[in-house]
Amino acid sequence: MSKILVLAEQQFGKLANATFSAIGAARQLAEKTGASYDIALAGQGIGGLAEQLGAYGAGTIYVLEDASLEKYTAQAYAQAFHSAAKASGATFVVAAATAIGKDCTPRVAARLGAGQASDVVAINGSGGALTYTRPMWAGNVLGEVKINTDIQVLTVRGSDFDAAEATGGSSAVEKIAAGVDAGSLRMTYVGLDAVESSRPALTDADVVISGGRGLKEASNFKLVEELADLLGGAVGATRAVVDAGWVPNDWQVGQTGKVVAPKLYIAVGISGAIQHLAGMKGSKTIVAINKDPEAPIFQVADYGLVADLFEVVPELTSKLKARAG
Amino acid sequence: MKILVTAKRVTDPDSKIVIKPDGSLDLDGVDFRMNYFCEIAVEEALRIQENLDDVEVVAVAIGDEEATKEVRTALAMGADRGILVECDEAKLDSDLVARILVKVVEEEEPDLIIMGKQAVDGDNNQVGQLLAEYLGWPQATFAYKVELEGETAAKVQREVDGGVETVHLTFPAVITTDLRLNEPRYASLPGIMKAKRKKLDVFEPDDFDIELEQKVEVVGYKAPPSRQAGVTVDSVDALLDKLANEAKVI
Ligand SMILES: Cc1cc2nc3c(=O)[nH]c(=O)nc-3n(C[C@H](O)[C@H](O)[C@H](O)COP(=O)(O)OP(=O)(O)OC[C@H]3O[C@@H](n4cnc5c(N)ncnc54)[C@H](O)[C@@H]3O)c2cc1C
């Protein structure tokens, strides 16, 4: 009998939005295999979150609490999630492909002797013959992969699985031993230097305005930020400007940064290197503003404006303001 | 202190990868080089070596015989010794790479392993974490800054969602690199000459009693859906009109 376990992600007492996409993926898996799904939640003092997760149609919410789980570390969380996988009898383990998901899930797979498909964007087939589609080579290629182990582990991209809606009802909540061997832990969480922002998170935003090296210097990034704030959007950036230290690391969109798929993506002064496209070409509507008509970004843009950004971005911002009245 | 670094051979990120009609990849004429994240790993190990006495840096690659070149590149950058575990790359998956590395680690007993967070071909982002778990070691993935505490521990800043996280690791440990950890050096000409004389041992999975049984298999490749060609607009007003009336996103 197939059984699915979703690894929920919480930090500082808050569930990550991506967890709901992972639940969305679990529902697809459930439909294809006839399996039911459970959710594992690890941490300390997280009863309230378990309650919240209980409205998403899972059979059981496994709650793993232990002093060693107070703050996220890969070693302790992998041990706890492994305990939950054992308790639930999971044949599929699903987590979001977030920083934590990428960090922790392979360790869970190793403990389970399972194969893992990372960054899954589609689940194909049904019953016992599933394959997973995942981007490779910076999204130049989609690979179709098959997992040969009895337990299959997936991390899924939030941009490609709709977040599950609450279905009402309430799952059984079961506290189980986290099974963390405190003596084996040789890492501790020290702290987080958080990027404070009142803007929506990049990966959740409906609108993303990203800036590139065409902005010339850090202080000009405010052109992008103003436009984003006006549209209630998030701000993204290319690796080039993150490397230059103009903006926080956390803003990088691309193969090795965040993958976003908003309704509207505006690329300002961005050439459109394949590594950048890998993180945004799933956006619904793409606008490119670049003064070079040959820039590759125009090949993925729905609307291209060949112009000097220093003229048209302020104009765009002021005309949008005027429209908003 | 001994540091093990990886030097994976990958397709040049600027090369175009073509999918053949039968769903396999056409890699003829594609350039290869060391995975950029591995270069960062080699660089970080060399910087540690420069700051401490008696640090040995050993570079390892797993792959086809051609991957000798990437090990030599690591040696030319300054690593002391090289290891190639020669096997058919097409028969590997992340888990096999990790299990082969476990054997290398058992032989070499390094204090620290530094490797790329992902290889820019498969983009799996798994091997460092798998290896750490198999060894029962702590890990710091996506490293942004590594501060050693003597030769037995480190504070590592990591690029995570929402900012930069700091973790403390007691060695032996695995660190995987992110883009901004350092700017890797180029191999100098004398470095390249010296590398030719450095020791490079070649093994096969058989030497470690490892059977190449894949847990994850690629059954086919296809091109990603291409986007419909868009239109060029000639003014901000035209753009606003399209966004409001056609795309309906503002
Ligand atoms: C291993 C690896 C991983 C990578 N990962 C990522 C990643 O995750 N994300 C990412 O973004 N990149 C990544 N890169 C880097 C990527 O290859 C490009 O170098 C980078 O995206 C380029 O950034 P850019 O578009 O800002 O700069 P450029 O390529 O320099 O483009 C600047 C653009 O601005 C335009 N411009 C200049 N002035 C103006 C003006 N006044 N008005 C309008 N337009 C103007 C120019 O025409 C040009 O097209 C990676 C690279 C490697 C090797």
Within a 10 A sphere around the Cβ of A294, how many other Cβ atoms? Answer: 9
- The residue of chain B nearest to residue A315, with distances taken between CA atoms, is B236
Domain A3-184 fold: Rossmann fold (3.40.50)
- Supply the ipTM of this predicted assembly: 0.97
Query: In 3D, which of A180, A183, A144, A161 has the Cα closest to residue A101?
Result: A161
Nearest to A302 among B213, B230, B235 (CB): B230
* Residues from chain B contacting residue A189 (CB–CB below 8 Å): 165-167
Give a yes or no: residue B87 inside a domain: yes
Per-residue model confidence as pLDDT tens for chain A (325 residues): 799 999 999 999 999 999 999 999 999 999 999 999 999 999 999 999 999 999 999 999 999 999 999 999 999 999 999 999 999 999 999 999 999 999 999 999 999 999 999 999 999 999 889 999 999 999 999 999 999 999 999 999 999 999 999 998 899 999 999 999 999 999 999 999 999 889 999 999 999 999 999 999 999 999 999 999 999 999 999 999 999 999 999 999 999 999 999 999 999 999 999 999 999 999 999 999 999 999 999 999 999 999 999 999 999 999 999 998 7
Q: Write out residues with Cβ below 6 Å of ligand 1.
A: A 212-214, 238-241, 252-257, 269-271, 273, 275-276, 279, 290-292, 295, 308-310; B 13, 36, 120
Once rounded to an integer, what is the mean pLDDT over residues B197-210? 96
Give a yes or no: residue B10 inside a domain: yes
**Do the chains contact at A305 and B222, CB–CB below 8 Å?**
no
Predicted pLDDT of residue A325: 76
Give a yes or no: residue B203 inside a domain: yes
Percent of chain B at pLDDT > 90 equals 93
**Do the chains contact at B139 and A187, CB–CB below 8 Å?**
yes
Classify domain A207-324 by CATH number. 3.40.50.1220
Predicted pLDDT of residue B227: 85
Give a yes or no: residue B243 inside a domain: no
Can you give the residue range of the structural domain that contains B126? 2-222
User: CB pairs under 8 A, 24+ apart, for B63-66?
Assistant: B63/B8, B63/B9, B63/B87, B63/B89, B63/B92, B64/B9, B64/B88, B64/B89, B66/B9, B66/B32
Query: In 3D, which of A308, A260, A257, A267 has the Cα closest to residue A283?
Result: A260
* Residues from chain B contacting residue A145 (CB–CB below 8 Å): 216-219
pLDDT in tens, B154-189: 999 999 999 999 999 999 999 999 999 999 999 999
Query: In 3D, which of B35, B93, B39, B84 has the Cα closest to residue B63?
Result: B84
Residue nearest to atom 36 of ligand 1 (CA): A214
Pocket test for ligand 1, best of A246, A255, A311, A313 (most atoms within 8 A of CB): A255
Give a yes or no: residue B238 inside a domain: no
Nearest to A263 among B166, B235, B249 (CB): B249
**Do the chains contact at B173 and A281, CB–CB below 8 Å?**
no
Total number of domains in chain B: 1
Residues of each domain in chain A carrying CATH 3.40.50.1220: 207-324
Could you tell me which residues come within 8 angstroms of residue A8 by beta carbon, excluding any fewer than 6 positions away? A15, A19, A22, A39, A40, A41, A42, A49, A53
**Do the chains contact at A303 and B228, CB–CB below 8 Å?**
no
